[in-house]
């Protein structure tokens, strides 16, 4: 992998990732010399106006980012800010072509020294999806996720690095170009805090690691296992919340992407592409593309707060969660009164039935 860092006109960082050796002959023979951003520099550098408040009843942090009300919303393809620049127009990426590009979000949920938000463009091709990528390109995206995890984890005040992709307007996508995001949270997200508490409690009560026990249980039961390789297991969790929810994790417990070994990294692209392509077949070959969220849950970083459960990073198990809000052809799972109001999920699909269907559509 070749990494080339530059700056946009307003000072935001932009990083190009190129395959090395060249991917299908398209990567530059020498190190990339980035094309300057031709747009005029603003009078002042952008700054996040995010405010963080704590809901004391729930014990959860809420971020307010009013500046995001003006972010780009479903532009036509010819105005996509994530497409490569042309001689006639330039948006966020000045190059006329690229493989994988990462840059600071123009409309961050937080930032200005309190965390960071980045966009990850998986390809220059506006009309493709992640599932359309080659294994080599998927491997390059994994390299980019890993590199950003390592770098963002070192930023002062960052508590967790969360790499994710939203696909589909049903999920809330505002740009159709195939891309994901990375949030370097300046606080511990609520779900992660609850996970840490569960890990600490289970270790204290049983002396064992909870993710290891859960993975062993899934492998022993087998009904919810969707796919396995030498180094990875994909399964629907016993208490899945979403109609179709898949967890993908290494057999070996590691805290984050930086801890994956070469064999684990080599196996990931083809398996992940197989799962994504299966998701698109869940509701029939004629159905529209399946909306989904794909997200890496990684161990927290930085210093623990006094009110956080004490739990070593090594207790945490890296996993990717892949889920859809579609519960059937033409039907969505809405988070209505129980889910949104009380935080109590009621699912429409049994995990065992979801796993059976996922095995059907992901079997090579």
The vertex-298 CA angle with 204 and 319, nearest 5°, equals 90
Please name the residue ranges forming H helices in the chain: 135-153, 190-206, 210-221, 262-279, 351-362
Catalytic residue (choose from 26, 67, 176, 179): 179
CA distance 257 to 261: 9
Strands 179-185 and 160-167: antiparallel
Q: Quick check: is 231 catalytic? A: no
CA distance 101 to 114: 23
Maximal C-alpha separation, the chain: 64
CA distance 114 to 129: 31
Residue 230 CB neighbour total at 10 angstroms: 8
CA distance 307 to 58: 14
| Exposed / middle / buried, residue 203 (Cβ in 10 Å: 0-12, 13-18, 19+) | middle
Which residues belong to the active site? 179
């Amino acid at each position: 992998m070749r990494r080339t860092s530059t700056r946009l006109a307003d000072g935001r960082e932009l990083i190009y990732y190129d395959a090395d050796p060249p991917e299908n002959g398209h990567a530059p023979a020498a190190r990339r010399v980035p094309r300057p951003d031709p747009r005029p520099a603003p009078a002042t550098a952008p700054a996040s106006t995010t405010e963080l408040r704590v809901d004391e009843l729930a014990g959860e942090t809420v971020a307010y980012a009013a500046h995001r009300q003006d972010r780009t919303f479903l532009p036509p393809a010819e105005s996509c800010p994530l497409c490569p620049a042309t001689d006639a127009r330039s948006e966020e990426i000045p190059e006329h072509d690229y493989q994988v590009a990462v840059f600071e979000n123009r409309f961050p949920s937080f930032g200005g020294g309190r965390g960071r938000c980045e966009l990850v463009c998986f390809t220059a091709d506006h009309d493709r999806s992640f599932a359309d990528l080659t294994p080599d390109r998927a491997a390059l995206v994994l390299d980019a996720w890993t590199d950003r995890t390592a770098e963002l984890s070192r930023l002062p005040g960052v508590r967790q690095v969360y790499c994710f992709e939203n696909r589909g307007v049903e999920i809330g996508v505002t740009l159709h170009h195939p891309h994901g995001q990375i949030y370097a949270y300046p606080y511990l997200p609520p779900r992660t805090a609850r996970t840490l508490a569960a890990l600490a409690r289970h270790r204290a009560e049983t002396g064992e690691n909870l993710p290891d026990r859960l993975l062993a249980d899934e492998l022993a039961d087998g009904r919810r296992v969707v796919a396995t390789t030498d180094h990875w297991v994909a399964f629907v969790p016993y208490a899945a919340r979403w109609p179709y929810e898949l967890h993908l994790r290494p057999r070996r417990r590691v805290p984050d992407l930086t801890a994956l070994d070469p064999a684990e990294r080599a196996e990931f692209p083809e398996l992940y592409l197989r799962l994504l392509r299966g998701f698109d077949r869940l509701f029939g070959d004629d159905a529209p593309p399946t909306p989904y969220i794909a997200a890496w849950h990684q161990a927290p970083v930085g210093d623990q707060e006094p009110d956080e459960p004490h739990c070593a990073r090594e207790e945490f198990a890296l996993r990717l969660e892949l889920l859809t809000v579609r519960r059937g052809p033409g039907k969505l799972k809405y988070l209505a009164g129980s889910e949104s109001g009380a935080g109590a999920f009621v699912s429409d699909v049994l995990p065992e039935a979801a796993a059976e269907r996922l095995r059907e559509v992901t079997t090579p």
